[in-house]
Amino acid sequence: MGPDLDLDKITPELAAKIVKHFILPMFDNAPSAKVGRRLGHKQSIGNSSSIYGELKLSEKLNETLGVVRNEVMRLTGSLEIEA
């Protein structure tokens, strides 16, 4: 067996990447998801109370957090240059 997993070292950002790259594709590739798309059912991220909807919302929030962090870093850099 490999080394033990230290849960204290798992950040929310890492967990969000795992959800995006491993868990959501399992739902997206499921036969039931393909049937729903063929029949024209659309899931709204904000209105879904399913686990899938919650995971998609988490993915969207993580993307928004990344954009905000980049903007804060850019603004901080601009302030340091002006000081």
Q: Any idea where the domains of the chain sit in the sequence?
A: 11-82
pLDDT tier at 68 (50, 70, 90 boundaries)? very high
- Cβ–Cβ < 8 Å for 46, 60: no
Note the pLDDT of residue 9: 87
The tens digit of pLDDT for each residue in 16-61 reads 889 889 888 887 777 666 544 554 444 544 445 588 888 888 889 9
Quick one: 75 exposed, middle or buried, by C-beta within 10 A (0-12, 13-18, 19+)?
exposed
Pick the residue with more confidence: 11 or 44?
11
Q: Which two tokens stand for residue 57?
A: 């919302």
Residue 3: predicted pLDDT? 66
CA distance 71 to 41: 36
Contact 16, 57 (CB under 8 A): no
pLDDT of 10 above 80: yes
